[in-house]
Amino acid sequence: MIEINIDPVLVRLGPVLITWHGFFTAVGVLAGIWLATRFAVERGFTEDDIMSIALWCVVGGIIGARLFHVVDAWQYYAADPLAILRVNEGGLAIWGTIVGGPIAGAIYAYRNKLSIPRLLDICGNALILGMAIGRLGDVINGEHHGSPSTAPWSVAYTNPQTLGEPGLPVHLAVGYELIWDMLIFAVCTWLLYKRYMPRDSMVFTTMIALYSAGRVVVQFFRLDAPFIFGMSQAQFSSFLVGAIALWILVYQWTRASRTIDADDDLDDLDEEDAPAATANVSGTSSPS
């Protein structure tokens, strides 16, 4: 068993608290922006484009994350609607970030006539990196309770201020997700560098499909309230979104393959017509 005895609050400055969660969230956002800028410049965008899109994505991600959380805990917020506005008290759903951020960024890109599919690939890769870094804060403060565990790698939170279950050995579910996010980031980075995918936005779709699959599994190690069919809201959303993303990915790949085959057929026809055209030209007699 691994013991975690870390205060969730990193710095106390009077009434102002800087938590590990907030710190790593900020680091994740900055790392994501840096990575997106690097890829974007290589693909014809400007740094100003990415900075503007990043602002829209952050705002959209926060709004989306709050809305998803409110829906998930509607009974609580229905009794106290003003609590919806108290974001400083916590309560953000990661799926809301994944949905709200790209939508807001796509709106900006559309209004400024930028390639949305290409930006999805770039920003999606940056998003999964930021999510992985942000999960470090969850690991430290004990948020998103894992289910009880007797495994050698189980963790127990012992700090008096922890947000976890004090002293109870549990699965480090957010740690599992962190590892999976980093694996996805490695795969997507490789795909972007190699330009392996035949169409723009396919790297983003791959990221969504892989994240969804991992989240469905990770949810079995978390203690979340059932939402529908015995699954939590996050698990059901992951299953649904993952299935759609996989279908889109197969469709994109199939369509791209057909386009390549059609182009090859046209090239073959051009090559077959070329000798005939040459013969006609050489066999034409000049006027006397």
Enumerate the β-bridge partners of residue 222.
146
Per-residue CA distances from 244 to 17, 67, 85, 103, 282 (Å): 40, 21, 32, 17, 57
pLDDT at site 146: 87
For residue 64, being part of any structural domain is answered with yes
What is the extent of the structural domain holding 38? 14-260
What is this structure's pTM? 0.82
For residue 63, being part of any structural domain is answered with yes
For residue 267, being part of any structural domain is answered with no
The count of structural domains within the chain is 1
CB atoms within 10 A of CB 254: 10
Tell me the C-alpha distance between 193 and 287, whole Å: 59
For residue 284, being part of any structural domain is answered with no
pLDDT tens for 82-108 read: 777 776 556 777 878 888 888 999 999
Whether the Cβ atoms of residue 175 and residue 136 lie closer than 8 Å to each other: no
For residue 3, being part of any structural domain is answered with no
How much is the average pLDDT of 53-66? 89
pLDDT at site 104: 92
How much is the average pLDDT of 150-164? 90
CB atoms within 10 A of CB 220: 13
Confidence of residue 263 (pLDDT cuts 50, 70, 90): low
Whether the Cβ atoms of residue 116 and residue 106 lie closer than 8 Å to each other: yes
For residue 273, being part of any structural domain is answered with no
For residue 121, being part of any structural domain is answered with yes
Runs of H (alpha helix) within 85-115: 94-111
Structure tokens at 143: 């948020």
For residue 41, being part of any structural domain is answered with yes
